[in-house]
Chains A and B, each alone.
Chain A
Amino acid sequence: MLLIACPYCGERPEIEFAYGGEAHIARPADPSAMSDEEWAAFLYARTNPKGTHAERWRHTNGCGRFFNAVRDTVTDFFVATYKTGEPRPDLTPRSVV
């Protein structure tokens, strides 16, 4: 089980959290101006990287707040967690050097 550092509550076990998918996918400012291709890309296309992944988590059974994390998808090592609205930190995980 993973230990996840909630930016508000500190380290807690994974079962307290809900995964929220890829982070930093902003809803388009003007959806009606988008083509079908652009809308499908926003809804469904995902980076799904083998390496560092910026993703949303929610501390469902804790403070209930959403936050973001950068995790290495090969080792599941959490490189960083940060509050929603903050930019993705520029970090290189130990395993991907």
Chain B
Amino acid sequence: MQNFSALSLLRRAFGGHESWQPQWRTPEPKPEYDVVIIGAGGHGLGTAYYLAKEHGITNVAVIERGWLGGGNTGRNTTIIRSNYLFSESAALYDHSVKLWETLSQELNYNVMYSPRGVMMLAHTIHDIQVFKRHVHANRANGVDNEWLTPEQAKDFCPPLNISAKLRYPVLGASLQRRGGTARHDAVAWGFARAADAMGVDIIQNCPVTAIRRSATGEVEGVETERGTIRAKKIAVVAAGHTSVVMNMAGVRMPLESFPLQALVSEPVKPAFPCVVMSNTVHAYISQSDKGELVIGAGTDAYVSYSQRGGLHVAQHTLDAICELFPMFRRMRMLRNWGGIVDTTPDRSPIIAKTPVPGLYVNCGWGTGGFKATPGSANIFAHTIARDEPHRINAPFTIERFRDGVMIDEAAAAAVAH
């Protein structure tokens, strides 16, 4: 693996940038691996990376239907935060934020983690009560979060309109300063490059068509469009397609898949210093380093795999943004798209063993999986390697729905769904 440094960049610049090598191999699938991971998004590639690095399991394949990082990893709005209400979630998402802080150095790949602050706006008395409860719960769990008056919120984010004449005036805000953004593609590429360097095979354009199970029930391998691949451990990290893949192993999941939309504007000079979201009027906005406003819209109401979504959903978000940030009223939107998000009944993920021996699943991230990428991958690798959950993901089982121990984060998920 070529190491990136200022010196190596300079040296290759003088060489006309002709000596760079591909960042990862394009191997043919071997007939057998110790672990097969289905899905080469950030979570799947990260799982392979931590399996190799922390557990010494390098005979791993990551199998991907399309191109790596081409699903929700490349379709999200890149927000990172950990201000979730319940202790289980705070532990999970804060584990991830701590990994984000050193991820660029660890991977020797700039994931452009930018802790610029995530501000959530309160517009009603109920918002104030809920957000203050979040602030106190977070601080009790050692997660930074603070309450701002409307004036303090405007100081932190000058474009914000705090006029009392708004239909839903800003009555306050909660601010997590460690929250921010990262470059989504770089996360997938960085994990892919580091995992590949340790011997992990990343097999792209190779849809899985079946999961093979023995007569006694445990998994034996997968059938793909490029032949059979045997493995005693199979990890499903297929995001919106988890129900489809798990169905191949005969497991019916508590999941529904919805299109979640996002859109970006034309690029402009730096104008927007932080991330702002409002659950009540549904605004969700930040500015990328390239200068585009990155806007997250809502989900469509119905189950779909269409990766598009209705235009009225995006329109609704833009109405709110134009009211809260009047200076953006004449901005033009360049692109919009949808990603298929798999949601659980309690809006918390499932990172667990399954009733099928040797089959593991990491899914149900709903509208908020990107922020959890390194943390999720880290504890999922632990679960696969040791065949038992990490302390952090022990509550995030499938059985919690049977046992009634939900982790109800519907209020913390910024998108109403």
Q: Does B243 contact A (CB under 8 A)?
A: yes
CB-based contact B306/A1 at 8 Å: no
Q: Does A15 contact B (CB under 8 A)?
A: yes
A:39-53 near B, CB below 8 Å:
39-41, 43-50, 53
Residue with the highest number of chain B CB atoms closer than 10 Å, among A14, A36, A48? A48
CB-based contact B257/A48 at 8 Å: yes
| A65 and B232 alpha carbons, distance in the complex (Å) | 50
CB-based contact A40/B252 at 8 Å: no
Given known A1-B312, A40-B402, A50-B241, contact A45–B253 (CB-CB < 8 A): yes
Q: Which of B71-79, B166-174, B296-304 contacts A (4 or more CB under 8 A)?
A: B296-304
Which residues of chain B are near A40, meaning CB under 8 Å? Answer: 254, 401-402
- Contact code string B59-96 (vs A, CB < 8 Å = 1, else 0): 00000000000000000000000000000000000000
Which residues of chain B are near A49, meaning CB under 8 Å? Answer: 243-244
Which residues of chain B are near A21, meaning CB under 8 Å? Answer: 256
| A57 and B137 alpha carbons, distance in the complex (Å) | 38
Q: Does B18 contact A (CB under 8 A)?
A: no
| A45 and B246 alpha carbons, distance in the complex (Å) | 12
Instruction: Give A68 Cβ to nearest chain B Cβ, in Å.
Output: 13
Instruction: Give B398 Cβ to nearest chain A Cβ, in Å.
Output: 9
Instruction: Give B354 Cβ to nearest chain A Cβ, in Å.
Output: 13
CB-based contact B244/A43 at 8 Å: no
Q: Does A2 contact B (CB under 8 A)?
A: yes
- Contact code string A50-82 (vs B, CB < 8 Å = 1, else 0): 100101000000000000000101111000000
| A95 and B306 alpha carbons, distance in the complex (Å) | 12
Q: Does A8 contact B (CB under 8 A)?
A: no
B:311-360 near A, CB below 8 Å:
311-312, 342, 345
Q: Does A18 contact B (CB under 8 A)?
A: yes
| A15 and B315 alpha carbons, distance in the complex (Å) | 13
Which residues of chain B are near A86, meaning CB under 8 Å? Answer: none
Instruction: Give A79 Cβ to nearest chain B Cβ, in Å.
Output: 14
CB-based contact B310/A2 at 8 Å: yes
Q: Does A30 contact B (CB under 8 A)?
A: no
Q: Does A90 contact B (CB under 8 A)?
A: no
B:265-312 near A, CB below 8 Å:
301-306, 308, 310-312
Residue with the highest number of chain B CB atoms closer than 10 Å, among A37, A46, A55? A46
Instruction: Give A6 Cβ to nearest chain B Cβ, in Å.
Output: 15
Given known A18-B301, A53-B303, A55-B303, contact A46–B256 (CB-CB < 8 A): yes
B:232-266 near A, CB below 8 Å:
241, 243-244, 252-257
Q: Does B28 contact A (CB under 8 A)?
A: no
- Contact code string A11-22 (vs B, CB < 8 Å = 1, else 0): 000110011011
Q: Which of B256, B310, B312, B401 contacts A48 (CB 8 A)?
A: B256
Instruction: Give A45 Cβ to nearest chain B Cβ, in Å.
Output: 4
Which residues of chain A are near B305, meaning CB under 8 Å? Answer: 50, 73-74
CB-based contact A46/B254 at 8 Å: yes
| A1 and B252 alpha carbons, distance in the complex (Å) | 30
CB-based contact B302/A71 at 8 Å: yes
Which residues of chain A are near B256, meaning CB under 8 Å? Answer: 21, 46, 48
CB-based contact A19/B301 at 8 Å: yes
Q: Nearest CB to that of B345 among chain A residues?
A: A44
CB-based contact B302/A19 at 8 Å: yes
CB-based contact B243/A48 at 8 Å: yes
Which residues of chain A are near B252, meaning CB under 8 Å? Answer: 41, 45-47
CB-based contact B310/A46 at 8 Å: no
B:396-410 near A, CB below 8 Å:
401-403
Instruction: Give B238 Cβ to nearest chain A Cβ, in Å.
Output: 11
**A45-B252, A49-B243, A73-B304 provided; 15 other pairs, C-beta below 8 A?**
A19-B301, A36-B403, A43-B345, A43-B401, A44-B254, A45-B253, A45-B254, A46-B252, A46-B253, A46-B255, A48-B253, A49-B244, A50-B305, A55-B302, A74-B305
The 4 A-B pairs with the shortest beta carbon distances in the complex, nearest first, are A48-B243, A44-B254, A19-B301, A40-B402
| A/B interface sample: 23 pairs, CB < 8 A | A1-B310, A1-B311, A2-B310, A19-B301, A21-B256, A39-B402, A44-B401, A45-B253, A46-B243, A46-B252, A46-B255, A48-B244, A48-B253, A48-B257, A48-B303, A50-B241, A50-B305, A53-B303, A55-B302, A74-B305, A75-B306, A76-B304, A76-B306
